[in-house]
């Protein structure tokens, strides 16, 4: 389908918006798995203290993934000429 000459091709923004929630879901699944692992380790009071740095890194990654979803939606709306 040909685009009108006054319309921007938004396919890249649409692809980014479709991919962003899936990427965010993957990060959140990793975050949940790490949180469960830490919870089990703390509950068992194992001699080895779990490294919370991995959890902190995943929390940061989840924040970035959430921002990526918002940015992708904003970029698409802007490319379509909508007020975002």
Q: What DSSP assignment string belongs to 10-62? A: -HHHHHHHHHHHHHHHHHHHHHHHHHHHHHHHHHHT-SSPP-THHHHHHHHHH
Of the pLDDT bands very low, low, confident and very high (cuts 50, 70, 90), residue 10 is confident
Contact between residue 27 and residue 61 where contact means Cβ atoms under 8 Å apart: yes
Contact between residue 25 and residue 66 where contact means Cβ atoms under 8 Å apart: no
Tens-place pLDDT, residues 47-72: 566 677 877 888 899 899 889 889 98
Instruction: Enter the tokens of residue 62.
Output: 């989840």
Find tokens 């940015």 and name the residue.
Answer: 71
């Amino acid at each position: 389908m040909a685009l009108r000459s006054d319309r921007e091709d938004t396919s890249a923004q649409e692809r980014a918006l479709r991919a962003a929630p899936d990427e965010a879901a993957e990060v959140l699944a990793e975050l949940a798995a790490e949180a469960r692992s830490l919870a089990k380790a703390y509950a068992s009071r194992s001699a080895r203290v779990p490294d919370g740095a991995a959890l902190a890194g995943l929390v940061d990654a989840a924040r970035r993934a959430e921002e990526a979803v918002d940015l992708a939606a904003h970029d698409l709306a802007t490319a379509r000429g909508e007020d975002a």
